[in-house]
Structure 1
Amino acid sequence: MNTADSKTGDRNPFFAAVTDGNAWTARQRALALTAQLSEWSTVGELTSKAAGRHFNNISATHGERLRATFNALTSLVAEVTKPRASPLSLLGEFRDYATDRTQRAILMADCLRERGDTFFAHEAAGCPPVLIYDYEIAVDGRQLPRPCNYMLLKITPPEDIEVLDWKRPYVIIDPRAGHGAGIGGFKADSQVGVALKAGHPVYFTAFWRNPEPRQTLADVARAEASFVRYVQEQHPDAPKPVVIGNCQGGWATLVLGASNPDLTGPLVLNGAPVETWSGDVGSNPMRYNAGLLGGQVQPMFWSDYGDGVFDGAWLVLNFEMLNPGRTWFRKYYDVFEKVDTERGRFLEFEKWWSGFFLLNEPEIVWIVRELFVGNKLARNEARLEHGRVLDVKQIRSPIIVFASHGDNITPVKQAVNWIMDAYADETEIKIRGQRIVYMVHDSIGHLGIFVSSSIARREHQEVASTLKTIEALAPGLYEMIIEDEIQDGADKHFTVSFSERRLSDLPGYGDGRQDEVPFGAVERLSELQGELYDICVRPWVQACVTKASAELGRQLHPLRLQRGLMSSRNPFLAALPGAAQTTAQSRQRVAEDNPFVLAERLVADAIEQSFDIIRDVRDAWYETLFFSIYATPQMRWFGRNFNFERTHKSREELIGLPEVRSALLHLSSGGFVEAVIRMLILLADARGTVRRDRLERSARVLTKDEPFRSLKTDQRAQIIHEQSLIVEYAGPAAIETLPLLLRTPEERRRAAEVVQFVPGALSDMEPRTLAMLQRFHDVLGLPPATMDVLTDPLGTLTEAAQ
């Protein structure tokens, strides 16, 4: 360290350059100030990028909508001014319009009244899950040694569906993010329906409205582990359960896997916000809330306001504010327009959307501090409880990540960037024997990922049918690609392939992560604010709150209040049900081309667009304000110890790791099993992409044929892991030592046939695959491969042995 460095120590170099004039030379001060100017340029770069993208988005989106509105207005004018049979016909059309709209208003008001009544009835029942399937409570978390309000439900399949106990069971973890449970089984084509149709037993993790006293997330994690153990006990002949986590249930799934690495089968994360600092500049405004709204002080205050209990309705209000034009206007206008047909669908969805749940203060503060502000789970620094650090690298099960560019609640980068923080590079994923598969859709929305949607159904079906083969992949990072194909002009099926990727191929890598640096200051400031609140403010707030005032505060929450006012509890609405019934019986619908209907729709579009413009301007201001505050050199320095960068190890360092050294010691050890697995991995490396049909043949060989069939699942995974490391680090020696593993001519011939069977016909092989196959034949002293092997060479032997 030079003299200047020793004098400034850990001080902000800007202030050191200004105040330590005697200690610093003119050149040093100039360099320091130049560095500060460079950092200030980062502020300008981020704010200008954010403002520019918002402006371009506003111009493009609203410009197009204004053109559409102008065209509609032109058509309306033409409709109004066209010749009519009678001068009074326009008055007659207004009369029809007024009658229809009055009737619709009465029916819509009654629909909202029924929503309010359903809301109170649902809350009185404890907000049970809104699943459309019958179920029974298999395990009640309130009866566990560490009680919590979670429960495991066993889904009862419909009469026309047969569920097989030997098939891999599914455990679905729904998000506890303000709403109730059941969205994952809300429709016939949702996750529950897809799994049931494939014959899998399905279990659902739900929760009661009120948390147990002193319940923590550690208790919830223990309960979920108990649920998975119960499922395993009920299906001893089945593979380990696949655990599916929706939204915030996704990071809960990671917590489950990290704290119980040997417990579960594949983990599926659907729209899960794990890397919460990530996002795209110019969008995703929710990630800036912690910096602009107070960080962990907010949940601490609202929990004190609720007498130690946080009201999930505040989270729901946050979601609604993301798109107020949709949630506060268009949603209701759409029902108004289709009140004769859409009433049931609206009430069904609102039953779930209005099921507001409660969390204990330690639960919500942990979520905010460790995840949404601290971003610690992705960095392997989150502590579930004292002395219990969560390291997602300890997970041994395959992880499948599903994200979408159309998701405005969990952006793609929040769903996948955690991989870059948890692992130094893709080589570390291989060394740890991990398989991580990600899949990114172009347009599907957040709820569409796990609710009914033709697109989501396709994804769930393909993931469900592919899970049994993913475990046959060699360790590494893969992208799952689903491509549509049409045959015979009608029947559509899908081609699934797995392409091996590097961390640099992840969707969030190319944009850089400079916009995440300011969040280090947000985290530190949030912790300081939390300490200050805890010492100076909390005692006074808690002294002013009672159980009665907390309950009154919950009832007066804006979302509950609007439902209460539009319910049968309001005496002014006593006559509404009778009026609605009479109106339905005398219903007179107006024509769709009525000019007043067309004018109303234009007004509705204008109102929604006004909301959207206000939202877009708000988001632009929100983001530029955030960067103006937290991207400054002073704030970057303030949060310098909270930023996170992984150091990539060199190849020499990686070879020195115990896992790699142990694997290389077995380079020339093993037999037929090790040789075949090594050759399959070499073929996959040569191809770079693995199609599902080839992966299914590989999985068939490794699980159904002897001698692989006799291996336990953990043994098979260990051999695949070891041989992957040998292929990665032994280079040509991995091929040259194959004759030492296959000692007899018969073993060599059979191994070559098995390996050729997996990629299929010679004519379908890529040149690199065919070259590697011929290399095997050459090393093993076999003649070149000229005949196709289209039947499983080990299958007939296994059947004969049985």
Structure 2
Amino acid sequence: MLDQLQQFNGGFPLTTTAKEFNDYLKDYLERSVLFMDVMRKRGNQMMDMTQNNSATVLNFEHKVIMDGSKFERPINYWLAEILPPKGVKTDHKLRPYVIQDPRAGQGPGIGGFKKDSEIGNALRHGHPVYFIGFNSEPIEGQTYEDIIHGQLAFYEHVAKLHPHSPKMCTVGNCAAGYLTMFSAMQHPEIFGPILIAGSPLSYWNGERGRYPMRYKGGLVGGSWINSLLGDLGGGKFDGTYLVLNFDLLNPANFLWTKQYELFANIDKESDRYLQFEKWWGDFIQFNTEEIKWLVDKLFVGNELTTGNLMTSDGIRLDPRMITSPIITFVSDGDNISPPAQSAGWIADLYHDEKEIEARGKTIVYCLNKKVGHLAIFTATKVGKREDEMFVENMDTIDMLPPGLYELVLETPEGAESNQPLQSRYEPRTIEDIKKLGYNSKEDDRAFATVAKASEANSFVYSTFIQPWFKMFANDSYANIVKNFKPLRQSYTAFSDIVNPWMKVFEPLAINIQNNRSEVSTDNKFIQLQGQVANMITDYLKSFQDIRDNFQEQMFFNYWSNPWVQKFWGTYDKEPRYIPSKTQFDRKRLDTKHIAEIKQHLPISNNVEALFRFVSLSLHGNNSLAENTARILLDEARAMEPRWDDHRLKNIIRMQSMVVDYDPDAALDELSKYSFATSDFDQVTLAVRRTADRIGVVSENVEKVVKNIASKLNIKSE
């Protein structure tokens, strides 16, 4: 019998197994106490944050310079100037950055709660940085349209502070992407490049079998549910509903993995866990009318990409009104704002890439293959790679000719600390966007049917049910409902402020930390623990897959049913207005675009000649490395230091457009200029220097030189 037990134990003596179990048990009990103490701290954090209306996890010193609560139509947003850390100098001649934080259930600060972040990278490059945050409680009577109108004042104020700098770069994360673009639609001339990160602008778009969050509205019959939840809160919609929605997208992580990873790595993960939970558990509130507007107009209604979204006072909100370059950062691992939604708006608005060019637009998307939604603007890896790349690219991105591009980061992951980041712009087509996920007409019709039903259900609710809630509403009841939400209770139940019994873990945890000895990872019981944990994770993921498939089938089985669609009047109609699929005067648009290019065919100065020459040399090379754009701007500054960057960038941009349109005519005009100009040798010297710096194949330059020479000979005869 003893031999059999030893064989089961891999041949080791049973005393070894007993010792391993004893070590594991001690470690398990110590980790349990430390885990409970972290839960206590987490609960106390939540209590501190939610009781402070202006709490933020912003990890940079800042001062509020504009308070939206003082506006004529007050809002709970504010504008802060980020004060540079010690040792960092800000150059107010550089382009200012404005980072807008997402108000999506949690408090402000996530865009700058780490050193390696959007804010940190902009500061390290010397840019003045501003931050738009918000308070946890909305102003009484505040509407979402008040926010749309009011926050524009923040951007106008930053523009006035930097009248001689390049136009501001704005960054909108997630829900802040809408607001950033709404401001740029109203006052496009004050904006420079606009970066929207993980922002689902085209909410209906998606792929069957992936990312089921877009079905939520249809599964509950539309937006009436938001009114109900808001009325239960006395006119306030609690952010816990949104956070719980996000959590339940990945039940394995929510119910098990996040807590288990903390427990299993309690000595290393505590600080990181508490740092993130400080923001994740800082639940905020919306006025019911705010969330209702968002759901009706953007999520269920999907009106943003129609170009026909109107405010109640008649302001049209059309993304095509934005004149600045737009960069959208998307990830294939994002289950909240997948690429189909955060890049699909481009295919909604523009028929093809030629239309983008003809309208003079520059649109860039950057695709990460794996990070999740929050990692897009919180992960340290993203901060060191994509965020750093965006800051480095913003001063050259407005030199790109109009068109659609993908910004590709070439530096291998992990190598960014040892070598400069390398990136390039690759021309793309609308078909490339659609490959990221795009609805069929049948899928669109299902969502359009939901939108119709939502309108009717909301009318019934507001007419017959909502008055009863308003009749009996009071603050005491609303506070009870808010504080006893299960998600809030999952924090407060562990707080020693609410639950004094939790105080026992504080001295125990201190004592354990002073005498802690971790068990070896070779311990068989630690390995068994990991195997069991993986089994639980796999089971929950299997449940998630079954649930997601069931919800998708239920959604389409009902809302794609011809009888349901006939009842709501959507069966034989176009499901939605898509600007890219409608007729427009393409000939007039193209004629105007070509006329503008032809105006710039003749060359009037050496700077234009230099970049006509360079563009001819680069012609046929579809991709453009970012360092090439930087070199071109350096050479332009060297040739004409009196001109501002805006003028120089426009010249570089336009010369590329002229060459792309008609390279032969462009070469003829360069030849004419070279024949008529006495100091053309300066241009050729600058061309050769530029070619050497950017690595242009010398034979391309020589080919252009020979072509010019041949034309000069013709003219001299």
Say if 1:485 and 1:492, in contact at 8 Å, map to a contact too. Answer: no
Determine which of 475, 483, 493 is the counterpart of 1:547.
475
Amino acid at match of 1:643: R
Amino acid at match of 1:660: H
Equivalents in 2 of 1:497, 1:348: separation in Å? 35
Say if 1:93 and 1:594, in contact at 8 Å, map to a contact too. Answer: yes
Q: List per-residue Cα deviations over 1:29-49 (Å, max 9, x = no partner).
A: xxxxxxxxxxxxxxxxxxxxx
* Structure 2 counterparts to residues 662-677 of structure 1, below 5 A: 662-663=595-596, 666=599, 671-672=604-605
- Of residues 543-552 and 488-497 in structure 1, the stretch that sits farther from structure 2 once superposed is 488-497
2:493 is aligned with 1:565: yes
Call closer, same or farther: CA 1:636–1:773 in 2, change over 3 Å. farther
Partner of 2:170: helix, strand, or coil? strand
Say if 1:523 and 1:642, in contact at 8 Å, map to a contact too. Answer: no
Residue number in structure 2 paired with 1:264: 191
Q: List per-residue Cα deviations over 1:303-339 (Å, max 9, x = no partner).
A: 2222222111100000100111112211111111222
Equivalents in 2 of 1:649, 1:119: separation in Å? 50
Equivalents in 2 of 1:711, 1:540: separation in Å? 63
Equivalents in 1 of 2:128, 2:357: separation in Å? 31
Partner of 1:481: helix, strand, or coil? strand
Determine which of 643, 656, 659 is the counterpart of 1:710.
643
Equivalents in 2 of 1:470, 1:353: separation in Å? 34
* Structure 2 counterparts to residues 411-490 of structure 1, below 5 A: 411-484=338-411
Shift in Å, 1:340: 2.6
Equivalents in 2 of 1:743, 1:148: separation in Å? 63
Residue number in structure 2 paired with 1:45: none
Q: List per-residue Cα deviations over 1:630-664 (Å, max 9, x = no partner).
A: 23344566433442344569999435667337526
Equivalents in 2 of 1:489, 1:686: separation in Å? 30
Partner of 2:291: helix, strand, or coil? helix
Residue number in structure 2 paired with 1:52: none
Say if 1:147 and 1:215, in contact at 8 Å, map to a contact too. Answer: yes
* Structure 2 counterparts to residues 753-772 of structure 1, below 5 A: 754=686, 758-760=690-692, 764-765=696-697
- Of residues 629-638 and 376-385 in structure 1, the stretch that sits farther from structure 2 once superposed is 629-638
Shift in Å, 1:558: 0.9
2:50 is aligned with 1:123: yes
Call closer, same or farther: CA 1:597–1:219 in 2, change over 3 Å. same
Residue number in structure 2 paired with 1:631: 560
Call closer, same or farther: CA 1:773–1:691 in 2, change over 3 Å. farther
Equivalents in 2 of 1:398, 1:380: separation in Å? 18
Residue number in structure 2 paired with 1:146: 73
2:526 is aligned with 1:526: no
Q: List per-residue Cα deviations over 1:441-499 (Å, max 9, x = no partner).
A: 11222222222322442112122111111111111111112212799999433332112
Determine which of 603, 611, 622 is the counterpart of 2:551.
622
Residue number in structure 1 paired with 2:118: 191
Equivalents in 1 of 2:463, 2:247: separation in Å? 33
Say if 1:469 and 1:696, in contact at 8 Å, map to a contact too. Answer: yes
* Structure 2 counterparts to residues 34-45 of structure 1, below 5 A: none
Call closer, same or farther: CA 1:719–1:178 in 2, change over 3 Å. same
Equivalents in 2 of 1:721, 1:670: separation in Å? 14
Say if 1:118 and 1:351, in contact at 8 Å, map to a contact too. Answer: yes
Call closer, same or farther: CA 1:489–1:471 in 2, change over 3 Å. closer
Residue number in structure 2 paired with 1:643: 576
Partner of 2:252: helix, strand, or coil? helix
- The alignment yields a C-alpha RMSD, in angstroms, of 3.3
Amino acid at match of 1:217: Y
2:143 is aligned with 1:207: no
Shift in Å, 1:759: 4.4
Equivalents in 2 of 1:762, 1:182: separation in Å? 40
Shift in Å, 1:704: 5.3
Determine which of 476, 497, 500 is the counterpart of 2:427.
500
2:678 is aligned with 1:746: yes
Shift in Å, 1:668: 6.0
Shift in Å, 1:257: 1.2
Shift in Å, 1:546: 1.8
Q: List per-residue Cα deviations over 1:480-539 (Å, max 9, x = no partner).
A: 122127999994333321122221222536866354442222222222222222222222
2:34 is aligned with 1:107: yes
Gaps of 5+ in 2: none
Partner of 2:104: helix, strand, or coil? coil
Call closer, same or farther: CA 1:367–1:649 in 2, change over 3 Å. closer
Say if 2:9 and 2:17, in contact at 8 Å, map to a contact too. Answer: no
Residue number in structure 2 paired with 1:538: 466
Count of residues in correspondence between the two structures: 704
Amino acid at match of 1:183: I
Amino acid at match of 1:182: G
Equivalents in 1 of 2:97, 2:558: separation in Å? 46
Q: List per-residue Cα deviations over 1:523-560 (Å, max 9, x = no partner).
A: 22222222222222222232232222111111111111
Q: List per-residue Cα deviations over 1:551-590 (Å, max 9, x = no partner).
A: 1111111111121211111143343333333444454543
Amino acid at match of 2:631: R
Determine which of 617, 624, 637 is the counterpart of 1:690.
624
Say if 2:205 and 2:437, in contact at 8 Å, map to a contact too. Answer: no
* Structure 2 counterparts to residues 148-167 of structure 1, below 5 A: 148-167=75-94
Amino acid at match of 1:392: P
Say if 2:169 and 2:192, in contact at 8 Å, map to a contact too. Answer: yes
Say if 1:296 and 1:368, in contact at 8 Å, map to a contact too. Answer: yes
Determine which of 170, 174, 183 is the counterpart of 1:247.
174
Call closer, same or farther: CA 1:567–1:135 in 2, change over 3 Å. same
Partner of 2:394: helix, strand, or coil? helix
Equivalents in 2 of 1:772, 1:209: separation in Å? 62
Equivalents in 1 of 2:425, 2:77: separation in Å? 36
Determine which of 223, 236, 257 is the counterpart of 1:330.
257
Equivalents in 1 of 2:323, 2:338: separation in Å? 26
Equivalents in 1 of 2:417, 2:390: separation in Å? 23
Say if 1:671 and 1:742, in contact at 8 Å, map to a contact too. Answer: no
Amino acid at match of 1:629: Y
Say if 1:448 and 1:456, in contact at 8 Å, map to a contact too. Answer: no
Say if 1:660 and 1:725, in contact at 8 Å, map to a contact too. Answer: no
Say if 1:312 and 1:359, in contact at 8 Å, map to a contact too. Answer: yes
TM-score by length of 1: 0.80
Identity among equivalent pairs (%): 31
Partner of 1:265: helix, strand, or coil? strand
Call closer, same or farther: CA 1:179–1:224 in 2, change over 3 Å. same
Shift in Å, 1:591: 3.4
Equivalents in 2 of 1:510, 1:179: separation in Å? 29
* Structure 2 counterparts to residues 558-637 of structure 1, below 5 A: 558-568=486-496, 569-587=498-516, 589-634=518-563
Equivalents in 1 of 2:277, 2:98: separation in Å? 25
Partner of 1:494: helix, strand, or coil? coil
Equivalents in 2 of 1:510, 1:96: separation in Å? 51
Equivalents in 1 of 2:520, 2:687: separation in Å? 68
Q: List per-residue Cα deviations over 1:376-430 (Å, max 9, x = no partner).
A: 1122122243311111111111111111112222111211111111223222222
Amino acid at match of 2:478: A
Residue number in structure 2 paired with 1:405: 332
Equivalents in 1 of 2:272, 2:17: separation in Å? 35
Say if 1:444 and 1:456, in contact at 8 Å, map to a contact too. Answer: no
TM-score by length of 2: 0.89
- Of residues 314-323 and 420-429 in structure 1, the stretch that sits farther from structure 2 once superposed is 420-429
Say if 2:118 and 2:383, in contact at 8 Å, map to a contact too. Answer: no
Equivalents in 1 of 2:537, 2:298: separation in Å? 33
Shift in Å, 1:716: 5.9
Equivalents in 2 of 1:353, 1:680: separation in Å? 51
Equivalents in 2 of 1:766, 1:278: separation in Å? 46
